[in-house]
């Protein structure tokens, strides 16, 4: 099972042991080995293999299950060990934080990775040209319902700065208006959204400045305030920041061909649009970690099984 050097017994993680030097640690959950009373987790992913019902499954950072594979997760971590380490350290603390505190912690962690060599290497290899036309967010109100539509179907609703600002404004307006009983978020065309426009990655090079911008303008800040009134309707691709935002919805409805993915680890960063917070609240820190560390696509049916989606429907109209 995996790397021999990385496969350890839980007793290894106690205060008196020498520092862990591998990129990850593997635990055989089915062996049901005892954990130390005072657990000292290493600053890297601790991956469980075996039953999610095993006692130790609640302690590890992620438990391997489909669609992820152990080999795939190990390869992803080895390719981006610094980002993977920051991701699991963040996810360990998020359950103890209020949502707004979690957003601050996520943004600070994201800022650290923005300045990392892993992310710089990805940016150098993936320089995208700017899209010609800025995106739009269409708003319409019918009675007590506000509809918010991502409208950039030519690039599968990739979210640019114009759209982010419009989303923030729309959710802020809903938060300030109690007469809005429901906010419906959807995408125009065949996809919900492919996430952030890759052409805008790195346009703010200073991590501290980027953190300040996120703290003031991140749509998740306002989406979290209307979560109980927010319904997301997902068709086709729901990727990266789009999934992060949709996960704030109190109800997520998806079509049978919807699929979900968080590809950020391959970029040397973490989901920084509020997704570490929203997904942890939706599906727990371990499945959030698995989705990020594997980078695998989640089908609509599996998303329903995990609790990421609340309902599957054939007609999203």
Q: What is the pLDDT of residues 201-243, one digit of tens each?
A: 767 778 999 999 999 999 999 999 999 999 999 999 999 999 9
User: Quick one: pLDDT band at residue 138, thresholds 50, 70, 90?
Assistant: very high
User: Quick one: pLDDT band at residue 317, thresholds 50, 70, 90?
Assistant: low
Express each pLDDT in 87-131 by its tens digit: 999 999 999 999 999 999 999 999 999 999 999 999 999 887 776
What is the per-residue pLDDT for 3?
Answer: 65
Give dist(CA 20, CA 7) in Å, integer.
Answer: 12
User: Quick one: pLDDT band at residue 315, thresholds 50, 70, 90?
Assistant: confident
Beta-carbon count within 10 A of 134 CB: 13
Strand order in the sheet with 145-151: 136-142, 145-151, 182-187, 230-234, 251-254, 311-312
What is the per-residue pLDDT for 131?
Answer: 66
Rounded mean pLDDT, 145-169:
97
What is the per-residue pLDDT for 224?
Answer: 97
Q: Which domains does the chain have, with CATH numbers?
A: 10-114 (no CATH), 133-312 (3.90.226.10)
Q: The pTM is what? A: 0.95
Express each pLDDT in 46-67 by its tens digit: 999 999 999 899 999 999 999 9
81-94 as b/e: b if 16+ CB within 10 A: bbbbbbbbbbbeeb
Express each pLDDT in 245-286 by its tens digit: 999 999 999 999 999 999 999 999 999 999 999 999 999 999
Rounded mean pLDDT, 156-181:
97
Report how far apart, in Å, the C-alpha atoms of 150 and of each of 158, 164, 167, 185 are.
Answer: 9, 10, 9, 8
Task: State yes or no: pLDDT of 84 exceeds 70.
Answer: yes
Rounded mean pLDDT, 157-169:
97
What is the per-residue pLDDT for 17?
Answer: 87
Residue 36: what are its φ and ψ, rounded to 5°? -65, 155
Express each pLDDT in 177-208 by its tens digit: 999 999 999 999 999 999 999 888 767 778 99
User: Quick one: pLDDT band at residue 5, thresholds 50, 70, 90?
Assistant: confident
10-31 as b/e: b if 16+ CB within 10 A: bebbeeeeeebebbbbbbbbee
Give dist(CA 110, CA 243) in Å, integer.
Answer: 17
What is the per-residue pLDDT for 2?
Answer: 57
User: Quick one: pLDDT band at residue 132, thresholds 50, 70, 90?
Assistant: low
């Amino acid at each position: 099972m995996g790397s021999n050097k990385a496969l350890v017994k839980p007793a290894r993680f106690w205060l008196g042991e020498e520092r862990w030097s591998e990129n990850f640690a593997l635990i055989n959950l089915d062996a049901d080995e005892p954990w130390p009373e005072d657990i000292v987790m290493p600053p890297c992913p601790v991956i469980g293999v075996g039953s999610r019902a095993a006692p130790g499954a609640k302690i590890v950072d992620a438990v391997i299950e489909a669609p992820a594979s152990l080999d795939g997760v190990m390869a992803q971590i080895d390719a981006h060990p610094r980002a993977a380490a920051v991701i699991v350290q963040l996810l360990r603390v998020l359950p103890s934080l209020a949502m707004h505190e979690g957003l601050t912690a996520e943004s600070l962690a994201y800022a650290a990775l923005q300045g990392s060599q892993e992310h710089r290497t990805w940016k150098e290899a993936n320089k995208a040209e700017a899209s010609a036309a800025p995106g739009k967010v269409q708003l319409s109100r019918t009675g007590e319902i506000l509809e918010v539509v991502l409208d950039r179907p030519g690039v599968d609703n990739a979210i640019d700065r114009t759209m982010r600002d419009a989303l923030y404004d729309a959710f802020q307006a809903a938060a300030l208006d109690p007469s809005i009983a429901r906010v419906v978020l959807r995408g125009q065309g065949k996809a919900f959204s492919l996430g952030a426009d890759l052409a805008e990655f790195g346009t703010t090079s200073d991590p501290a400045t980027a953190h300040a911008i996120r703290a003031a303008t991140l749509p998740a800040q306002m989406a979290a305030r209307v979560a109980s009134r927010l319904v997301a309707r997902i068709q086709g691709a729901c990727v990266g920041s789009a999934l992060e935002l949709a996960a704030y919805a109190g109800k997520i409805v998806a079509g049978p061909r919807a699929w979900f993915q968080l590809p950020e680890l391959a970029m040397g960063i973490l989901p920084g649009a509020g997704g570490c917070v929203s997904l942890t609240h939706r599906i727990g820190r371990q499945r959030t970690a698995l989705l990020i560390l594997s980078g695998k696509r989640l089908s609509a049916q599996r998303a329903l099984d995990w609790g990421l989606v609340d309902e599957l429907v054939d007609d999203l109209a």
